[in-house]
Amino acid sequence: MKRYVIVISLFVLTTQLYAQTKAKQATPSKSKAPTVKIVADKEPEKPILVIDGIGIYKDEFEAIFKKNNPKNSVIDRKALDEYAELFVNFKLKVREAEKAGLDTLTSFKEELKGYRRQLAQPYLMDKDVNDKLIQEAYDRSKTDVKASHVLIKLNPEPSPKDTLEAYNKAIMVRDKAVKGENFSNLARQFSTDPSAAQNGGDLGYFTSMMMVYPFESAAYNTAVGQISMPIRTKYGYHIIKVEDKRSARGQVRVAHVVVRVPAERDSTVVSTTKDADGKDVNTSKTIKIAINKNDKEDLEALKKINEIADKVAKGEDFADLAQKFSDDRTSGRSGGQLAWFGTGRMVPEFESVAFDLKDIGDVSKPFRTSFGYHIIKLLDRKGVQSFDEVKGDLKMKIQRDSRAQISRDVVINRVKKESNFNEDSKAYAELLSKIDTSYISGKWNVEKAKSLNKYLFSIGNTSFAQQDLATYLADNQSKQTNKEATVESLVRTAYTGFQEDKIIAFEDSKLEEKYKDFRLLMQEYRDGILLFEITDENVWSKALEDTTGLREFYNANVKNYMWDQRVDATIFKAKDDKVAKSTIKLIEKLKKKGTYSVENVTKEINEKSALDLQTENGLYAKGENELVDGVEWKEGLSPKKEVNSQIVFISINKVLPPQPKAINEAKGTITADYQTYLEKQWLEKLRSKYKVDIDRDVLYSIQ
C-alpha cells in the first residue's frame, strides 16, 4: 500500500515539468471519440479522453482531479486544462506499460491482488456495525472491571447433550452463588479454568478488548456485586461475579530493575511512594505474600535488589544500574524502560506498584512478583486517550477480534437477501449420510460421495453442488483430539464456514460493479503499479545505471553545478586568551620555519591537556559556518574573539573563486536533474507515439 501512495503522488510530481513548460507539441485537439460507455437506459457516455483508441471516462478523471485538489479550490477551465495535461502524461505512461505487457506479468497480478484484498475488507464488513463496535470498545475502555468467574468447559464441537449438561451445571453453580455461597470456593470446586485452584477465579481488573467479546459484554453489563447468567464463549459457559468497577487509570511508562528468583516462590510485596512533604508512605494496596526466609536464593536476590535501591537513593543513574544489574536483559539494554501499559497488562503486583507511584521520577521500594524482586521508576503517565487518537487502533483490533464476525454476519445476511440465496436441506442431509466416523480421524475418502452431485445452495446465478462441499470437506479434514466430537457437529461447522466463504466471495466479485468508488480506487492502484514500473525502467533506474549518459548530461550543463566563492579555513578554539596567544605565536613561528601544519600546532599546544585547543578545518561557502562568515575572507589570521567562553580565531588558508563542482560533489542533484531530463524526453516521445483526443465539452462539465 505504501508504494501505491508514493506512485499516486508521483503522478503529479513527475509530470508537472511538462505542464509547466507547455510542451511544444500542439494541445490535443477536440475530436469525436471512437469509443463510448453504454449506461443502461441512458444515452451512450462520451469519454473525456481517448489515448491510442482507448476511452477514459469522466468519473475516473474527476475522482483523481478532486483527490489532488483542495475541496475549496476554484474549478475553472484553466485548472481543468492544466490538470488534463498532467492526466494525459499519466495515462500515456500507463498505456506504454500496457503495450510493454507489464499488466500481464504474474508479479503485477499478484501485487494488484494483494492490494485488492486490503481495499475490499471495508466493503465486506458492515460499516454501521463496525462504527458501533468501535464506539462501544472506546466507551468501555474508560472503565476497568474487576471480576471473578467459574468456567464450565465445553469442547469446540460439543454435542447437544454435552451443551445442555454444561449449561445446567453452570446454572447450578450460579444458584449456589446467588444463595450466598463463597464464590472463590465455588470456583475452586467447579471451575475448569486451571488457574482457579490458586486464584479462586479472580481475574483482577481488565478493560475493553482484553477478554473474548461475549465475556467482556457480560462483565460490563453486570452490576457490581451481581452474578451473571451463564455466558457462552468458545471456551464454554462462564458465571461471572463483578467485584468492582472504576474509572480507567490510563497508562504508565516505567523503567525497572529485576533480580530474578524462581517463579513458584512467593514473598512480601512492599511498595512505597512519597507524600506531599517528600516522606515515604506505604501504599494502601500493598499485596502481601508469605516469604520463605530460609530460602538462600530468595534472600540473596532480596539483598541484591536492596543494594541496587540504595545506589538509586544515593543518586546513581537508574538507567545505568538497569543496564549493569537487571536480569531482564531486553529492557536492561534500554535502561530498564518498558513499553506503555495499562490495566491488566502486567502481573497485578507490578501493575499496582507502578500506578501507585505519584510523580514522574519517583522510584518504588523493592517489591516481589512471581518473576523476582523489582524496583520501578515512573517515567511518564497519561490518561485515557481521545476517541480520535485510538479510533484507528481499535478498528484494527476489532478486525482481528471475534467481534468482527458480528459485522461479517450482517453482510452475509444482506447478501443472502439481495442475491436470492436458496438452500436444499435434503441434499445436505443426503451428503451427511455419506460421511462416517473416518471423518473424525481425518481419513474420510471423498469417493464415498462420488455418486452425489445435486444442487446444494445458490447465490445469484452461482450454484454449488454436493460434490463441491464433499471435496472441501475432504481437503480440509483433520484428526480431532476432542473425543466427544460428532460427525454431525464437525460437518455442520465446516459447511457453515464453506457457505459463508462462498457468499463473501460472491459479494467480493461484485464490488467493482456495486461500488463506483471501489472500482475507481482499483483503477488507481492498477495504473499506479504500472506507472511505477514503467517510470522506474525509463527514468529512475535508467538515470542511476546510465553513467555515460549522466556524465554527458553533466558536461552539457556544468554551469548549473557551480561552487560559489569558498575558503579553505581552519577554526581555532582556545581554552583561554593565554592559550590563544601561544597558539598564534606558534603558528607564526612554524610558518617562518616552513613546518606549519594544524597537526603540529595542536600536538604542541595540547601537550599538557587535550582540552586546551580544538580545531576544525574545511572548505566553507557563505552560510555554511557562522564563525567563518563572521571574518574577512582574506588569507591570514583573523582577530580573536570570545565565543561561548572560548577564544576563537580563524585562519583563512586560501580563497577559492567560483568553480564547477566535480560530478561526485553534486551526484544527487545531477542525477535528479538527469531524471527530469529523461522524463521530459520520454514524454515527448510518448506524445508523438500515441494519438490523444480530449473532449473539452466533457472536461468543462466538471463542477
DSSP assignment, residue 537? I
Does pLDDT of 243 surpass 90?
yes
Mean pLDDT of the 618-635 span: 96
> What pLDDT sits at residue 448?
96
Query: With contact defined as beta carbons under 8 Å apart, do 154 and 482 qualify?
Result: no
Which residue, chain included where needed, has cell 538497569? 322
Residue 595 CB: number of other CB atoms within 10 A? Answer: 9
Query: With contact defined as beta carbons under 8 Å apart, do 239 and 150 qualify?
Result: yes
Dist CA 687 CA 701 (whole Å): 25
Does pLDDT of 230 surpass 70?
yes
Tell me how many degrees the CA angle 128-130-136 measures, rounded to the nearest 5. 105
Mean pLDDT over each residue of the chain, to the nearest integer: 89
Query: With contact defined as beta carbons under 8 Å apart, do 298 and 291 qualify?
Result: yes
- Cell numbers describing residue 99: 503495450
Dist CA 81 CA 509 (whole Å): 36
Give the model confidence (pLDDT) of 513-524 as tens digits: 999 999 999 999
Q: How confident is the model at residue 160 (pLDDT cuts 50, 70, 90)?
A: confident
Paired strand residues for 461 = none
Mean pLDDT of the 671-687 span: 96
Q: How confident is the model at residue 45 (pLDDT cuts 50, 70, 90)?
A: confident
Mean pLDDT of the 67-93 span: 91
Query: With contact defined as beta carbons under 8 Å apart, do 639 and 580 qualify?
Result: no
H runs (alpha helix) in 515-618 = 516-535, 541-545, 547-556, 577-593, 598-605
Mean pLDDT of the 212-227 span: 97
Domains and CATH numbers, the chain: 143-247 (3.10.50.40), 251-382 (3.10.50.40), 417-511 (no CATH), 562-660 (3.10.50.40)
* Helix/strand/coil (H/E/C) assignment for every residue in 61-73: HHHHHHHCCCCCC
> What pLDDT sits at residue 69?
83
Dist CA 308 CA 375 (whole Å): 9
Mean pLDDT of the 595-602 span: 95
> What pLDDT sits at residue 34?
40
Query: With contact defined as beta carbons under 8 Å apart, do 670 and 554 qualify?
Result: yes
Gyration radius (Cα) of the chain, Å: 37
Give the model confidence (pLDDT) of 285-321 as tens digits: 333 333 454 477 888 899 999 999 999 999 999 999 9
Sequence-distant contacts of 492-496: CB under 8 A, at least 24 apart = 493/157, 495/428, 495/469
Mean pLDDT of the 421-441 span: 96
Dist CA 86 CA 409 (whole Å): 44
**DSSP for 392-415?**
HHHHHHHHHSTTHHHHHHHHHHHH
Which residue, chain included where needed, has cell 596567544? 581
Q: How far is CA 145 from CA 150, 243, 673, in A?
A: 16, 8, 62
Does pLDDT of 233 surpass 70?
yes
> What pLDDT sits at residue 213?
95
Residues whose CB falls within 8 Å of the CB of residue 353, separated by 6 or more in sequence, listed in order: 269, 271, 283, 364, 367, 374, 376
What is the tally of helices (H) and strands (E) in the chain? Answer: 28, 22
Query: With contact defined as beta carbons under 8 Å apart, do 55 and 37 qualify?
Result: yes
User: Phi first, then psi: what are they for 546, rounded to 5°?
Assistant: -85, 75
Tell me how many degrees the CA angle 604-605-606 measures, rounded to the nearest 5. 95
Dist CA 351 CA 287 (whole Å): 11
Mean pLDDT of the 549-554 span: 96
Dist CA 481 CA 429 (whole Å): 25
Which residue, chain included where needed, has cell 437477501? 417
Which comes out higher in pLDDT, residue 161 or 497?
A: 497
Which residue, chain included where needed, has cell 586560501? 654
Dist CA 305 CA 192 (whole Å): 38
Give the model confidence (pLDDT) of 529-543 as tens digits: 999 999 999 999 999
Q: How confident is the model at residue 703 (pLDDT cuts 50, 70, 90)?
A: confident
